[in-house]
Amino acid sequence: MDSLDYSQELRQIAKEFKQFAFDYKRARALYAEALNNLTSLIYITGLHSDKASFENKLTKLLATDQAEAAQEFIEQLNSSRAEYKGLEMVLESYKAQISAIQSVIKYNLTAEVNTNIVNKYERNIL
């Protein structure tokens, strides 16, 4: 592969990376929304003064009159957390791939520059 091929591959991977980054942002926003709504429900139902952990308060929240809304937000919280955690791993692998391609391009350019310098000095000596 030449530099142009690597550049095109890098451009394609960066485009895919950008799409995954937007998906990650959307999943984090859904997670934050669910977390805020659950926190509000905990305060509405009076569970905020309970000394239980947040996860235990969610379980107790399911036993209140807000159980239906709580169930919906808990499902949103869990699914969006799973999605953004998965996307974090995908984004990390894309970063590694982008870095590797950039290293190859840099190596090729350095080799090309070195070859040009050698050729220049060989011409001057002869």
Quick: pLDDT tens for 51-100.
989 999 999 999 999 999 999 999 999 999 999 999 999 999 999 999 99
Measure the CA–CA gap between 41 and 64, rounded to whole angstroms.
Answer: 10
* Residue 69: alpha-carbon gap to chain centroid: 28
Count of domains for the chain:
1
Q: Tell me the average pLDDT of the chain.
A: 89
State which amino acid sits at residue 24: Y
Residue 24 token pair: 């990650």
Range of the domain at 8: 3-125
Q: What is the pLDDT of residue 104?
A: 86
Per DSSP, the three-state class of 15 is helix
Alpha carbon distance 77, 69 (integer Å): 12
3-state secondary structure of 123: helix
